[in-house]
Amino acid sequence: MEDAFAIDPIYNDFEVARWVNVPHPCPTGFALERFQRFLTFPPHERCFILSKKSDRKQKAIGLILANWMDTEKPPITGFFLASKFHGKGFMNEALDAAFEEIFRLTDADAIRASHYLGNIASEKLLAKKGFEAVGTSSDFNRTTGKTEEQIDLILPRAVFEGA
């Protein structure tokens, strides 16, 4: 639960919030409220906390969420990282571990993801991981207050396992 207090400031960074669809400014305790449901490890969800060792202790710098409640569709994942850690390979490495776990926990043939049009960093990272665009959708973004276009993607299990 202490990780929630490290995530709240990340949610309040507009350059992160803009792409992850949280209220902005994000109310204190927003992450804590969301984290409470993960404490029970629901059988259809996972929250992977990313941390970096510091001189004092490990501190959360981002997270990866996965949900496979809708058994008609492949699991869906989303992720974010504190701005000061962008472009340093942390998310690339973390996604490998998360995807391996998601495929281990499910019998899914693929993993889904979406990113808002214009999120070049996520677009490049997901392409590097082997995701293929399969269409577009629209989503109301609470950060910007607008309905925005998303690119919908799929990572086939065979592509991930062949990487």
Give the lowest-confidence range in 14-28, 37-51, 71-85, 135-149.
37-51
Q: Which one is predicted more confidently, 2 or 131?
A: 131
Closest listed residue to residue 35, CA positions, set 46, 50, 19: 46
Segment 129-148 mean pLDDT = 97
**pLDDT of 32:** 83
* Residue 39 predicted with pLDDT over 80: no
Peptide bond into 74 cis (omega under 30): no
Give the lowest-confidence range in 44-58, 102-116, 125-139.
44-58
Q: Which two tokens stand for residue 141?
A: 């973004």
Q: What whole-number distance in Å separates Cα of residue 1 and Cα of residue 162?
A: 36
* Cβ-Cβ contacts under 8 Å for 73 (sequence gap 6 or more): 112
**pLDDT of 153:** 98
Q: What whole-number distance in Å separates Cα of residue 151 and Cα of residue 132?
A: 10
Segment 98-118 mean pLDDT = 97
| Mean pLDDT (the chain, rounded) | 91
**pLDDT of 42:** 77
Q: What whole-number distance in Å separates Cα of residue 76 and Cα of residue 64?
A: 11
C-alpha distances (whole Å) from 156 to each of 45, 124, 132 are 19, 17, 8
Instruction: Give 34: exposed, middle or buried? Use CB within 10 Å, 0-12, 13-18, 19+.
Output: middle
Q: What whole-number distance in Å separates Cα of residue 79 and Cα of residue 99?
A: 12
What's the one-letter identity of residue 15?
E
* Residue 75 predicted with pLDDT over 90: yes
In the 8-state DSSP scheme, what is residue 142?
A: T
Q: What whole-number distance in Å separates Cα of residue 36 and Cα of residue 41?
A: 10
**pLDDT of 8:** 87
**pLDDT of 55:** 53
